[in-house]
Structure formats: C-alpha cells, structure tokens
Amino acid sequence: MRFVLDTSAVIHLVERKPDALTAELRKATEAPSINVVTLAELAVGWASLPRDSPRRRTYHSARRMRVIDIAANHLDSEPTALVVAFGECRAAGIKGNDAWIAATAHFSGGVLLTYDETLATRFATIGDSTLLSP
Amino acid sequence: MRELRNHTREVIERAQSDAVTITDGGVPIAVLTALATTEGRWNAEAWLVQITGQDWAPYDSGLAAELAERGTSDDESDAVERLGLV
C-alpha cells in the first residue's frame, strides 16, 4: 500500500507519534511520500518560530521523507498526469496548497493520510483517503 | 509509544547483528537509513524511527557524546547532517 501524508499528518507523526497513524504506516509497502508543498509549509513554520520551538524539528524530520518535487519531475512537457490530477482535485473542491498535496496522492494512486476532515471528504470523491482522529 | 520504542530497539539490534554495511560504527541513524533504503527493501519500523527521530537517541550514547564533543546545537537534525550521517 502506498501512502501520501498531508502536512497535518506529518506534524502529528513527528510531534505526537499517534498509534493510529503509525499503525497505518506499518501497512505501507514503500516509503510514504509528501508533496514539496508540505515541505514548504513546514519551512515557513521553521523560519517563523523561535529557535527552541519543537515545531522547527518537524521540518527537519520531513526533509528525511520522500519528497515529490513537482517542478523537477512533472511540469517539463505536455500537461502531465500530475497536472491532470491537480485539476481533478480542484474540481472536487480542494483548494490552495491542499490541491497539490492531494494531487500527489491521486497521481500516484496512493492513500492520502490527513487529519483534515474537509480534505479527506472531498478527496474521497476521487481517490482513497484515510481521515485520522487526533 | 512504548511499543514503538521496543520496535526501535529490535530493529537496531537486528540490523547490527545482520552486519548491515555502515560507515559510522553502528550509529543507529545510519543503520536505520541503510535498512530503510538499501536493496529495494523498505522497512516500516526503520522509517518510523528515522522520521520520528528522538527514539533512537537514547540507544546510542556514542552518538550523543560525539555531538556534545563537537559542540553542536540542540537541534539533532542539524547536528546529524553536519556529521554526514544522513
């Protein structure tokens, strides 16, 4: 099973290590992915928080994950599967950065892991998602 | 997270007993990285420990001492990267 973590899932995993999430990830058959947008969101937190903030470590942990780089891999030719997936995510009502994150899961055929109920509900109309409870 | 910590210990011990090729004299993060990425294998436990980070630290006093000796900051990730362990 292939998983893509949204930003909320990364934060919970690194900072709280919830059993429900780690149990899901033990089902994975390959290293879970994050979209580079998630890394960017965490980088903003890293840059804006005090040095002793635990959240700053979350960014460093996320850097160890498998990051799907949109620009390097998927936007160099005709509209690609990822871009098509992005459009489908937008059509499903997923907005802003979440649309890129969801597109990564949709494009790769992976399960989107998130703590965001709205995102999970909307993504479920086009792909597989697992809504986690805090 | 006792269960995860137990898994962590098992993963480290198993990796070391399997003589996984590493260059850092048994530093867990290197063991875990090797376990998680080599030969097409993917190990969920190794990955979880690698990502959640803190759990491996108590099991390697050598790494902790090395970090302290080099005067690194309290940011483990930065320190590990500077040491070239990842």
**B30-81: pLDDT as tens digits:** 444 544 544 445 677 777 777 775 444 333 444 444 444 444 334 444 434 4
| pLDDT value at B2 more than 50 | yes
| pLDDT band per the 50, 70, 90 thresholds, residue A62 | confident
Residue A64 and residue B75: Cβ atoms within 8 Å? no
**How far does B19 lie from chain A, in Å, by closest CA?**
23
Residue A26 and residue B44: Cβ atoms within 8 Å? yes
Q: Whole-prediction pTM value?
A: 0.68
3-state SS of chain B: helix, strand, coil percent to 5?
70, 0, 30
Q: Averaged over A5-25, what is the pLDDT?
A: 91
In chain A, which residue's Cα lies nearest the Cα of B33?
A64
Set of chain A residues whose Cβ sits within 8 Å of the Cβ of B4: 17, 22
Q: What is the pLDDT of residue B14?
A: 55
Looking at the complex, does the CB of residue B10 fall below 8 Å from at least one CB of chain A?
no
Q: What is the pLDDT of residue B42?
A: 66
Burial of B80 (C-beta count, 10 Å sphere; 0-12/13-18/19+): buried
Q: Residue B77: what residue type? A: S
Query: Residue A89 is encoded by which pair of tokens?
Result: 């995510």
What is the DSSP pairing of strand A66-68 with strand A129-131? unpaired
